[in-house]
Structures are given as C-alpha cells and as structure tokens.
Amino acid sequence: MGKLVASLAAVSVIAMGCGQPSAHVDDSSASAATSAAAPAPVAKPTAVAICDMPGEDDHLCFEYLDEAIAKDREVTCATGLRRDASCPEKDRLGSCRLSDGSVRYAYPPKTPDQAERACHEAKGKFAPGGLAPPPDPKVLVRCEGKVEGGCEEETTFTEARAKQAEEECSTYGGKSSRGGACVRDQAIATCDLDGPRLLVFSRTTSFGAAERYCTDRRGKFDKTEAASASASASASAAPDYDPPEPKADIMIRQR
C-alpha cells in the first residue's frame, strides 16, 4: 500500500511539471530577435574624389562631391585625385564648406584659428572639429552688365559667396538677381569659368571679342549651336571689335 501511494505521488509531480511552461529560453532565438530589431549599420559616405596634400608647412584635404568639379580640380591636385574615398579623420582641426559645395579639411601644423580665417577668406562656411558643416541653400546669382555684351551666372552653396558675387556685380556696373539663369536664345557663345561660373555672350558682341575675353581668363569657350547655324546662313558678320578695357575679374580663391 505504501509503495502504491509513493508511485501515485511521483506521477502527480511529473504531471504538474508537464502542465507548466518551461523557464528555459533558447539563447539562439533571443539573439536572432535582438539582431532583427537592431538598426543596420550606416555606410560611411564617400566623395566622388579627394585631393589629399600633406606637407611640412601645410596639410589640406579636399572632398569633391560633384564629378564636374573633381575634373576641374584634377589639374591642380599635386598628389593626384583618389576616387571614392574620404579625407583622413585623424587630427582634423576644422572643415570649410566651399562655395562650389566641396569640403576642405585642415590639419596640423595649422591651428584652428588659421583654418577658420582661411575659410572666411574663401567665402566658405566653417565648422571646428571633424564634421563638415551642411551647405547653405543652393543659389544661382545672375549679373548683367558686368561684362560687355555678356551675362554672368554663378551657382553657389554658401550665402557668403552669394553676397560677394552680388557686391562684385554692383561694383563693376552690373545688375544682379537671384534664381533666374541668363537668357540663351540670343546667345552667340558661352565661357565656362572657375567657380563654377558661366558667361553667356549675346549677339551684341563678336565671336573674336568674346573668345579673347574668355581665354584671357582661362575659361572654356564654346559657340552655341544657334550661333553657328546663323553664321553659316548669313553672308555678313558682326565687326570683330574688342570690348572696352576689361573690368577687373575677381577670381574665387578656393585653394
């Protein structure tokens, strides 16, 4: 009888254990759930190209975010461009968002104060430390009358440069406005300048005068298709005169 009671008690304990949920949790399941909930790592952004120029007296590194700007700067990068890369993060003193949208980082032996002054001189936007400041809203500044027979337009990503371009336009006898590009339906040629800036020459000037003005400033001269067709169809051409003494042309210093 005693043995029967003991057997029934053991069966009851086993039955009670089967009816209760297990306290054991599968570690692999928990790990999988945690991994699924965690955000995926964000890939570090890279520039289209960089120009890293270390030296004993100066160390600057440029990150170009636009392919056209990178191509323009390639000829001036003494160390050669590196594609799909980022400037070194170690020892960054500060960064300067330049008017063309690219970023210039400063390193020792310069000081943070020197880096900031150089940025302001370039009409850039400065930030101390290793993170680049965001660009200002993109602005297109148009200037008519600064260049004889031409309209100049410039796209900038810093408000400081936009204001400087407006001041330059006024100083040299032009009238500036924001947002609207130069009219092209009466253009005979264009001149692509550093900045990026574009000169649109109208029919009131000649090809020769426009080309000389452009090449004197190391710009890329290009006749428009409409002008080429008009020149072929017309037997008479505009006189090849030079505009008045060229007005001072303030170059944007980014390097």
For range 53-71, the mean pLDDT: 93
pTM confidence score: 0.68
What is the model's pLDDT at position 234?
Answer: 42
Domain boundaries, the chain: 47-128, 139-233
Residues 6 or more apart in contact with residue 83 via CB below 8 angstroms:
48, 49
Place of tokens 């680049």: 132
Helices (H), 38-177: 67-74, 112-121, 159-171
Residue range 218-231: mean pLDDT, rounded = 70
Taking the C-alpha atoms of residue 108 and residue 91, their distance in angstroms, rounded to an integer, is: 7
Q: Tokens representing 80?
A: 């050669």
- Give pLDDT, residue 196: 83
Rounded Cα distance, 215 and 208, in Å? 11
pLDDT (average), residues 99-126: 96
Identify which has the larger pLDDT, 183 or 235. Answer: 183
Nearest CA to 60 among 69, 51, 68? Answer: 51
Give residue 145's region: left, alpha or beta (phi > 0; psi -120 to 50). left
